């Protein structure tokens, strides 16, 4: 089908030969494209918006043919959330709680611990549970033991595929978004659980942690001289084994029990010898628990970085573990079998994912617990291969060693759980208490109700989809309307939504497609589709809406108006060329009309708009020549600005009084012929003949303005001559250059001086300064708010000092509301001659203090201000190889000169920094010397080599700033040494405002040498934060 633009032209081509008065019904139907040929499916690839008879590509392909029932809904099968037979229940990961989920699953599969928790008694919890069951309310356990008890009951008998442990996590006070140390969590939780269970009356419950997990070892010290043995017995719940430098688990245990020699300064004081003697110290295992937890110390402290790192080395461990060789004099056989392996996937100590491989004690089958997903291992064997493949690759990663049968190798296992072998496995009763079973059944009922509700919603969606399918198949065949059939128009947008399975059809709204006559607008035909009257009747009956647009809704008035406009537009193009030639002709004397230059440039656009065409002009304004010369760029830019103004034709030369404007640069003369041609399009436009006088009132105002400009120029020149040094900022008074013969200086506000200088520079643009308001420098009590010692320093931006002769000129030319002066007096005392500076009026100490506090507060409460970070390398220069983008020199030649630092600067970093030295040269004495020479120095900060500007706010922390510096300089936060004015910045939690970092501060950055292992670089956000661990959680009693 032809493109939409071609269809648009074809629909109105008849207007070239038909007058508006001759428009017939046939012309109207052509304009509305009623008789265009419909498109055929297969030949037309997409819907033709220019053809209202094209009903292809509107979304019908989805419904034609057979459709899968699942496409009618987006509801998952609720049975997918149901627990499968003979499988375990998973736990939802709430963000970063995978480390908790792994331990809960390991503890759940410890049958003795599960039984003890089921025997845990709390009369109040039973009563509360019964109330919740009767009232059908959510059960909320009160203690950690009750939470774990309820969690175990759900894990055992829930019908859900996974359950939500948020109540348990909330009771512990854990942050669901922060991953914690899993090994530390295990220790702390076991301690907490033992403390809670120790208050129970039932001995089995009270002693379960001791009986299941607690072992004993002794720290033994033997004197090398007398052989005396000193022993300190201690309990343990897990053995912490160093894996660095080892390949096998047994090697780690051997190192744990290795003898240590105490010699030299570490000699041992022997009670028998009564003196310090050489000795040996070792750990001796005395008793091992039925459940032996072995912590593999993968997460160690790195002294180079000051933070934890993970050791990704392979450790081999067997499915069985003989501990007899590691015990001395024992009658019990300690043969263990592997029951759980806890895995940390990832190379960093601060991120990654935790999963657990746990052996079912009842069936001896292995399962992988990965939060909600639980996978049964094949053949009752532990399979770790895939977990090692999923670990992130590391440059220094070693190849996986070959393992013998029954031996497993892992670089991600961080905890191994071994169970003591028992010849005859006791059947541990794990029957759920009655009240807990009722709670589980209540939860199962809610789950079943949810499943039924979801199934009904799925069925309802499928039924609706099938009905819609039949409706579409039936109606789409009858949708097209023949050339002579009755028809109606409906919106294409509505038709597409009707065919969109995800969007329910709304009532048909045709109101926004109507013209001002209440019929179908011919311009909206591209948004409409012509369909059969039968189909339209079905649509309006089922979906309602309106108004209905039938054949009678074609608007003849709009078509006639469009015909008239198009014909005028064609004539306009011819007239444009004629007028463009006429304005080039020189106007004869005694004739012509004044026309605005802007109106002449855009007359065709204005004419088009008057004809109802609100579209961009098609001609190039740059082609229009006035008096044979092409317009300049400046005129074109001004034309664009003028085009935006809402002014009529020739109104741009009408003054505010309704007469001809005085400015001849904005208007020009054109011939009578050209003017009358334009008048055909603008019959009511303002008309000014060539002999029309400009507005008298505007001329009077212009003459007055010229006189005022002359007066202002004279005034500015007189004041500039009288106060030349003040204008040029030369020979200004200061504390260090007060001549001996001068006893008084006068004070004015710097604002007055700046405003006065503006007037002197541009007297015709800026108004003259009439008065001097010194009251702004005084407090409400009438006292001065500035001390003499600060007037030439930090307060120099607010006040200016004047010589007495300059003050006389000020009083002569300006209205002064208050005189403020400084008097110097010499006083002779015992210690010598002293100089005193007294202000009149005197300083108000209270208000001065308030001003300083306000200034200090303003410096501490900034937002999005600029500070500068200067990188120093080797105490001398910036590392060009590491940061070539920093090698940018200042554009100021004076900044290239090295000058000595002022005395008293002790910071070694600061003294060696090129940029810092350059900045420090602008001292008070330096200002005076420059001022004496008449040099005006810019106060704008100039960046030097190795320096970058950063946008910061006062309330952001130093840690946030370090992150910005890391992105700017590629230096990790833990390698950054920052200082400000000799003060080291090291409190990462402190705000920039509290550290004294104010706008335009220059912070020095010294980077430590990069270390070889940056495995934790991606976790720099966590690394920068001080590690608080489980501070503030329920694991520490909070």
pLDDT tens digit string along 174-220? Answer: 888 877 888 888 888 888 888 888 888 889 988 999 999 999 999 99
Give the up-direction half-sphere exposure of residue 700: CA atoms within 13 A in the CB hemisphere: 4
Among 116, 138, 119, residue whose Cα is nearest residue 129: 138
Alpha-carbon distance of 243 to 250, in angstroms, equals: 10
**How many helices and strands, by DSSP H and E, does the chain display?**
31, 39
Pick the catalytic residue: 27, 246, 344, 353?
353
Q: For position 547, what pLDDT does the model report?
A: 92
pLDDT in tens, 897-944: 333 433 333 333 333 333 333 333 333 333 333 333 333 444 455 656
Q: For position 778, what pLDDT does the model report?
A: 85
Is the bond preceding 957 in cis, omega lying within 30 degrees of 0?
no
Question: Which pair of structure tokens corresponds to residue 954?
Answer: 């006062």
Alpha-carbon distance of 109 to 358, in angstroms, equals: 8
CB atoms within 10 A of CB 867: 22
**98 part of the active site:** yes
* CA 137 vs CA 128, 129, 130, 439, 757: distances in Å: 10, 9, 10, 10, 79
Among 723, 597, 736, 585, residue whose Cα is nearest residue 667: 597
User: Is the pTM of the predicted complex or chain greater than 0.75?
Assistant: no
Burial of 109 (0-12, 13-18, 19+ CB in 10 A): buried
Alpha-carbon distance of 336 to 356, in angstroms, equals: 19
Alpha-carbon distance of 665 to 721, in angstroms, equals: 36
Alpha-carbon distance of 1030 to 218, in angstroms, equals: 29
Q: For position 328, what pLDDT does the model report?
A: 77
Residue by residue, DSSP assigns 706-726 as HHHHHHHHHHHHHHHHHTHHH
Q: For position 1013, what pLDDT does the model report?
A: 43
Pick the catalytic residue: 39, 98, 270, 661?
98
CB atoms within 10 A of CB 729: 16
* CA 512 vs CA 480, 509, 519, 520: distances in Å: 23, 7, 11, 9
Alpha-carbon distance of 165 to 172, in angstroms, equals: 11
* CA 219 vs CA 222, 260, 308, 322: distances in Å: 10, 11, 28, 22
Helix (H, G, I), strand (E, B) or coil at 855: helix
Below-50 pLDDT ranges, the chain: 1, 391-392, 395-396, 614-645, 875-939, 1010-1026
* CA 1034 vs CA 116, 144, 168, 185, 213: distances in Å: 21, 9, 11, 11, 22
Buried b (16+ CB within 10 A) or exposed e, 588-621: eeeebbbbbbbbbbbbbbbbbeebebeeeeeeee
Q: For position 931, what pLDDT does the model report?
A: 36
Alpha-carbon distance of 43 to 478, in angstroms, equals: 20
Alpha-carbon distance of 1000 to 1016, in angstroms, equals: 33
Alpha-carbon distance of 285 to 306, in angstroms, equals: 33
Q: For position 705, what pLDDT does the model report?
A: 85
Give the up-direction half-sphere exposure of residue 667: CA atoms within 13 A in the CB hemisphere: 24
Helices marked H in 625-743 — which ranges?
633-644, 672-679, 696-722, 724-728
Question: Which pair of structure tokens corresponds to residue 25?
Answer: 């019904």
Query: In which region does residue 458 sit, left (phi positive, over 0), alpha (psi from -120 to 50) or beta (all else)?
Result: alpha
pLDDT in tens, 405-417: 878 888 888 899 9
């Amino acid at each position: 089908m032809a493109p939409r633009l071609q269809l648009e032209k074809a629909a109105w081509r008849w207007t070239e030969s038909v007058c508006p008065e001759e428009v017939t019904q046939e012309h109207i139907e052509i304009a509305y494209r009623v008789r265009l040929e419909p498109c055929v499916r297969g030949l037309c690839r997409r819907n033709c918006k220019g053809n209202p008879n094209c009903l292809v590509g509107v979304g019908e392909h989805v419904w034609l043919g057979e459709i899968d029932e699942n496409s009618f809904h987006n509801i998952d099968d609720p049975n997918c959330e149901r627990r499968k037979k003979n499988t375990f229940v998973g736990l939802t990961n709430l963000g970063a709680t995978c480390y908790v989920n792994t331990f809960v699953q390991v503890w759940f599969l410890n049958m003795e611990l599960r039984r003890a928790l089921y025997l845990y008694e709390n009369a109040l919890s039973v009563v509360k549970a019964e109330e919740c069951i009767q009232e059908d309310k959510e059960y909320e356990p009160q203690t950690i033991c009750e939470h774990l008890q309820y969690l175990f009951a759900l894990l055992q008998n829930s019908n859900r595929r996974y359950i939500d442990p948020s109540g348990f996590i909330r009771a512990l006070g854990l942050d669901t978004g922060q991953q914690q140390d899993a090994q530390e969590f295990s220790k702390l939780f076991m301690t907490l659980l033992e403390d809670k269970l120790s208050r129970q009356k039932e001995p089995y419950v009270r002693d379960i942690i001791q009986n299941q997990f607690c072992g004993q070892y002794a720290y033994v010290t033997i004197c090398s001289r007398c052989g005396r043995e000193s022993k300190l017995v201690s309990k343990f719940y897990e053995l912490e084994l160093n894996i660095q430098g080892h390949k096998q688990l047994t090697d780690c245990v051997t190192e744990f029990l290795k003898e240590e020699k105490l010699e030299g300064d570490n000699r041992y004081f022997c009670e028998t010898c009564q003196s310090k003697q050489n000795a040996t110290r070792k750990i001796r295992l005395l008793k091992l628990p039925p459940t032996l937890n072995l912590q593999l110390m993968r997460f160690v402290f790195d002294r180079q970085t000051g933070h934890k790192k993970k050791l990704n080395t392979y450790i081999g461990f067997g499915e069985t573990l003989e501990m007899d060789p590691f015990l001395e004099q024992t009658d019990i056989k300690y043969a263990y079998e592997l029951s759980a392996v806890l895995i940390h996937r990832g190379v960093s100590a601060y991120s990654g994912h935790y999963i657990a491989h746990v052996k079912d004690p009842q069936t001896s089958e292995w399962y992988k617990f990965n939060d909600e997903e639980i996978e049964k291992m094949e053949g009752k064997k532990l399979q770790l291969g895939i977990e090692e493949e999923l670990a992130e690759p590391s440059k220094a990663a070693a190849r996986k060693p070959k393992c013998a049968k029954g031996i497993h190798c892992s670089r991600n296992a961080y905890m191994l759980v071994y169970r003591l072998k028992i010849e005859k496995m006791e059947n541990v009763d794990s029957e759920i208490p009655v009240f807990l079973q009722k709670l589980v059944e209540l939860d199962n009922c809610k789950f079943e109700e949810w499943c039924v509700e979801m199934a009904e919603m799925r069925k309802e969606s499928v039924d609706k989809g099938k009905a819609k399918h039949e409706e579409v198949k039936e109606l789409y065949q009858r949708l097209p309307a023949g050339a002579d059939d009755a028809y109606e128009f409906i919106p294409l947008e509505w038709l597409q939504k009707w065919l969109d399975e995800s969007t329910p059809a709304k009532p048909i709204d045709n109101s926004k497609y109507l013209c001002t006559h209440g019929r179908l607008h011919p311009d909206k035909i591209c948004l409409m589709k012509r369909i059969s009257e039968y189909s339209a009747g079905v649509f309006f009956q089922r979906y309602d809406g309106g108004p209905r647009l039938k054949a009678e809704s074609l608007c003849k008035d709009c078509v006639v108006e469009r015909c008239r406009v198009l014909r005028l537009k064609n004539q306009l193009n011819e007239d444009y060329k004629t007028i463009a030639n006429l304005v080039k002709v020189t106007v004869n004397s005694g004739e012509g009309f004044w026309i605005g230059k802007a109106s002449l440039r855009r007359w065709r656009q204005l004419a088009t708009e008057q004809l109802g065409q609100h579209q961009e002009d098609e001609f190039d304004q740059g082609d229009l020549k006035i008096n044979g010369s092409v317009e300049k760029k400046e005129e074109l830019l001004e034309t664009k600005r003028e085009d935006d103004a809402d002014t009529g034709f020739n109104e741009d030369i009408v003054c505010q009084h309704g007469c001809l404007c005085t400015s001849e640069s904005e208007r020009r003369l054109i011939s009578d012929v050209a003017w009358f041609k334009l008048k055909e399009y603008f019959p009511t436009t303002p008309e000014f003949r060539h002999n029309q006088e400009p507005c008298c009132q505007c001329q009077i105002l212009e003459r007055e303005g010229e006189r005022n400009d002359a007066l202002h120029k004279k005034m500015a020149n007189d004041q500039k001559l009288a106060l030349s040094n003040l204008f040029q900022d030369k020979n200004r008074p200061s504390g260090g250059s007060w001549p001996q013969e001068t006893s008084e200086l006068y004070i004015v506000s710097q604002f007055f001086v700046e405003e006065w200088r503006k007037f002197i520079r541009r007297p015709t643009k800026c108004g003259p300064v009439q008065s001097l308001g010194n009251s702004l420098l005084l407090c409400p009590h009438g006292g001065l708010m500035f001390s003499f010692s600060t007037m030439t320093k930090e307060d120099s931006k607010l006040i200016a000092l004047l010589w007495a002769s300059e003050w006389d000129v000020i009083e002569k030319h300006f209205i002064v509301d208050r005189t403020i002066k400084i008097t110097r007096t010499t006083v002779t005392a015992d210690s010598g001659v002293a100089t005193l500076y007294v202000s009149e009026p005197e300083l108000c100490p209270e208000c001065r203090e308030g001003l300083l506090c306000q200034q200090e507060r303003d410096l501490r409460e900034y937002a999005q201000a600029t500070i500068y970070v200067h990188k120093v390398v080797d105490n001398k220069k910036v590392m060009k190889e590491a940061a070539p983008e920093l090698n940018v020199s200042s554009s100021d030649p004076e900044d290239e000169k090295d000058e000595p630092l002022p005395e008293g600067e002790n910071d070694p970093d600061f003294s060696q920094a090129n940029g810092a030295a350059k900045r420090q040269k602008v001292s008070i004495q330096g200002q005076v010397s420059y001022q004496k020479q008449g040099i005006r120095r810019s106060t704008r900060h100039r960046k030097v080599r190795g320096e970058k500007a950063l946008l910061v706010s006062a309330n952001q922390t130093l840690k946030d700033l370090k992150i910005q510096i890391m992105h700017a300089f590629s230096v990790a936060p833990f390698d950054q040494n920052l200082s400000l004015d000799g003060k080291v910045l090291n409190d990462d939690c402190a705000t920039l405002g509290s550290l004294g970092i104010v706008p335009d501060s220059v912070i020095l950055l010294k980077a430590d040498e990069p270390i070889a292992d940056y495995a934790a670089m991606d976790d720099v956000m966590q690394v920068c934060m001080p590690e608080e661990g489980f501070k503030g959680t329920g694991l520490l009693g909070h």
